[in-house]
Amino acid sequence: MHNRYRGLLSACLFMCTTLLFCAAPSHAHIIDQTVLVISLNGTITHTYTKPQLDALAYAIPPTEHYLPLNTPASTWQANTTGHIQGITFDELAPLLNDAWALTVTSPDGNQHQFDSPDLAEKLASLVWVTSASNPVATAPIAPYTVDIEGEAATSTTPLSIWLSWEGIPQLKEEIRRFAQLHDITITMSEVPKISSKLVQTQRGGGTVADVVMVQADYIFELAATGMLQSLDYLQPQTTQTSGNGSFHLFGRQWAIPLYYDSQLIFCNSALFQAAGLDPQAIKTLDDLQQVARTLDAVHPSAHAPLAWNLYSAYWLLPFQMGFGKDRLIEADGSVVVNDTASIAAVDYLMGLVDQGLVSINERDAMLANFIAGKTGMMLSSSYMIPELEKLGIGFETVAFPNNQQLQRPVVPL
């Protein structure tokens, strides 16, 4: 998981939040000094030193959603990926049922106050930045203090979470971190076919976990059976409107996207190097075909130069858009697959199959051939990156190319 997403949803789902708080300058004189003090209704709850905050920091994309309180955004020092280092304030503050005011006092005594009836849901829009590029020369005479007016979440009841599908090791790591930061107990269980278990548990009068990870496919079924709590009260500002709209059914909002994948071309580094090819030179569909032909000529004994999982529900969508389709779902909710763009996309893809440039595989077979060096390229998704890295496979990723004839991108849905 390359980007950090924080926050636990109510009752039945994960939610994604990427909002913020700001940073004290870093310098050698405050190594062991408390640089941040947080209090709730006048009572100190947390104190942090610079090393503690540095250890907690992670990469955060600098966007307009971040609210600098004591370090101007112009002084943030980005890393090589364009991100800054910091930690969102919702992780530093105590867990809250509600909050309505927050006062920040800087070392020089200046104060900034923020009042909002839904402040508790906006704490993630504040970030403590650890990568400011203009560190001061001397230690501050006092730490930054943040006083919150609100209601603490006082329950000590352990939480339970059901996990399934993909990314489980990364999610477990994030959940452990959340539990450690807030000194709470969270029990995690891997549950196959969570949707079925939810329905069975409800019918049998059993106990459902506090938080359940479900695939988007099951939202309709679970909402229709009354298994989900509506999330109409949440208005996330950092998720795409189209993503939120995917879970708007029966006039209610039932889920917030946690993350999404992007389809990519995965290139086998060893095969590309042996053929003298540069993966990043693939810019158009013509480039893709030419690279596939070169790989086929250099490695004729390979299974196929290009492969992907034809059995996936997502395999055709990018090419439909790249060949001229403007929308996947019509205004009346229908899906049209015999239009000109869809037919052109299928003709193109089947032409590659007929030329022996594409091998149609189920996911596991496709991955096995790629790992074994029998496939030079595979069309897959970004979720595959950590799996290949764990296996130590040399690879590069390339964005889906453009359709040079129509000057349209093959959209990586």
- Could you give the domains of the chain? 28-152 (no CATH), 159-253 (3.40.190.10), 263-409 (3.40.190.10)
| Mean pLDDT value across residues 147-165 | 88
For every residue of 224-247, DSSP letters joined together read HTT-S---TT---SSS-HHHHHTT
Residues 18-57: tens digit of each pLDDT: 222 333 333 333 345 788 999 999 999 999 988 898 899 8
pLDDT digits over 264-286, tens only?
999 999 999 999 999 999 999 99
Mean pLDDT value of segment 203-229: 82
Angstrom distance (rounded) from CA 58 to CA 179 = 17
pLDDT band for 292, please (50, 70, 90 cuts): very high
234 vs 326, higher pLDDT:
326
CA gap 260, 63 in Å, rounded? 19
Helix (H) or strand (E) segment spanning residue 366: helix 363-371
Higher-pLDDT residue of 319 and 216 is: 319
At 26 the pLDDT is: 37
- On the question of pLDDT at 406 being above 60, the answer is yes
* pLDDT for res 341: 95
Q: Is the pLDDT of residue 103 over 60?
A: yes
Taking each helix axis as running N to C, give the angle between helix 384-391 and helix 363-371, from 0 to 180 degrees, rounded to the nearest 10. 40
Q: How far apart are CA 392 and CA 194, in angstroms?
A: 31
Q: Which two tokens stand for residue 396?
A: 């590069």
Q: What is the pLDDT of residue 72?
A: 63
**pLDDT on residue 65:** 67
Residue 63 has pLDDT above 50, yes or no: yes
User: Is pLDDT above 80 for 87?
Assistant: yes
How far apart are alpha carbons 264 and 370 in whole angstroms? 14
Give CA–CA dist 145/127, Å, rounded: 14
Q: How far is CA 82 from the centre of its chain?
A: 16
pTM confidence score: 0.65
pLDDT confidence tier of residue 347, bands split at 50, 70 and 90: very high
pLDDT grade for 238, boundaries at 50, 70 and 90 = low
